């Protein structure tokens, strides 16, 4: 259930409320029903061929709880300025590849096909933070020095997926499990190797919803520590509420 992003869009998708179970959480519209209009036209035609599937009714209440928990971690001003809507669907497919999540100009798309299929609370919430971090990076590019980020990596490393994650998904090289062998080289997971943005996203998702052992890794591997500090600085410049103490408290 990898996550990936699509090419940035100029136009914001049109919201079409087709189901009475769709709702608003912390001022953000949250939609569980799939209609073609949730994707811009450029996503629905070849070669992207975007398709989705409405969330199963049995997963709606759990999804509401997860998105509520995720949104609570951001000041309302950040949500109001940067997030138009959240779409939680059973499945999303682009380029004939299943996606765990994606994002557009101001919208986050997340999949949830049930805990039995691996879509645990932590996975779904991490997906939200992963995708929302892409929106924030685009909206505040002056606050994160991506060249300096890349210099933290081992010498001679080049991110290995020209499709920015899609290729990694196709090749089944998109694990989001924390990998200490990779951490020594500056990468939390296999998927982080696929692109600079995916690398940043992976740290972001663990800042807001840390996988077990994340902070032990931060404290044990200098390259991961340096990346984590840079990303905390990025968030702190967006809003001073985002401190290292705030993020460490998310593990409690």
Reported as a single tens digit per residue, the pLDDT across 93-129 is 999 999 999 999 999 999 999 999 999 999 999 999 9
* Reported pTM: 0.90
Give the pLDDT mean for 216-245: 98
H helix runs in 34-175, sequence order = 41-44, 60-71, 76-82, 121-139, 146-151, 166-170
The pLDDT score that the predictor gives to residue 40 is 86
pLDDT band of 5, cuts 50, 70, 90: very low
Average pLDDT of the residues of the chain: 89
pLDDT band of 174, cuts 50, 70, 90: low
pLDDT cut 70: percent of the chain above it: 86
At 149, which helix (H) or strand (E)? helix 146-151
**Domains by residue range for the chain, with CATH:** 23-139 (3.30.2010), 143-249 (no CATH)
- Rounded to a whole number, what is the distance in angstroms from the first to the last CA of the chain? 26
The pLDDT score that the predictor gives to residue 229 is 98
pLDDT over threshold 50, residue 14: no
Q: Distance between CA 209 and CA 235 in Å, rounded?
A: 15
Q: Is cis: bond before 47, omega within 30 of 0?
A: yes
Half-sphere exposure of 25 (CA within 13 A, CB side): 22
């Amino acid at each position: 259930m990898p996550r990936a992003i699509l090419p940035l869009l100029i136009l914001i998708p049109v919201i079409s409320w087709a189901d009475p179970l769709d709702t608003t959480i912390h001022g953000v519209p949250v939609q569980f029903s799939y209609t073609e209009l949730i994707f811009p036209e450029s996503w629905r035609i070849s070669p992207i061929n975007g398709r989705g599937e409405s969330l199963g009714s049995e997963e709606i209440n759990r999804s509401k709880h997860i998105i509520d928990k995720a949104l609570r971690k951001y000041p309302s001003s950040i949500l109001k300025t940067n997030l138009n809507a959240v779409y939680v669907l059973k499945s999303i497919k682009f380029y004939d590849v299943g996606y765990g999540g994606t994002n557009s100009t101001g919208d986050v798309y997340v999949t949830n096909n049930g805990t039995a299929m691996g879509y645990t609370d932590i996975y779904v919430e991490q997906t939200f933070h992963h995708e929302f971090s892409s929106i924030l990076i685009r909206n505040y590019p002056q606050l994160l020095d991506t060249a300096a980020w890349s210099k933290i990596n081992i010498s001679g490393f080049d991110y290995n997926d020209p499709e920015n994650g899609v290729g990694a998904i196709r090749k089944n090289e998109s694990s989001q499990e924390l990998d200490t062998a990779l951490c020594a080289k500056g990468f939390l997971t296999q998927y982080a190797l696929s692109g600079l943005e995916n690398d940043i996203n992976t740290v972001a998702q663990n800042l807001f919803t840390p996988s077990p052992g994340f902070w032990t890794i931060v404290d044990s591997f200098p390259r991961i520590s340096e990346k984590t500090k840079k990303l905390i600085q990025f968030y702190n410049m967006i809003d001073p509420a985002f401190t290292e103490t705030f993020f460490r408290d998310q593990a409690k």
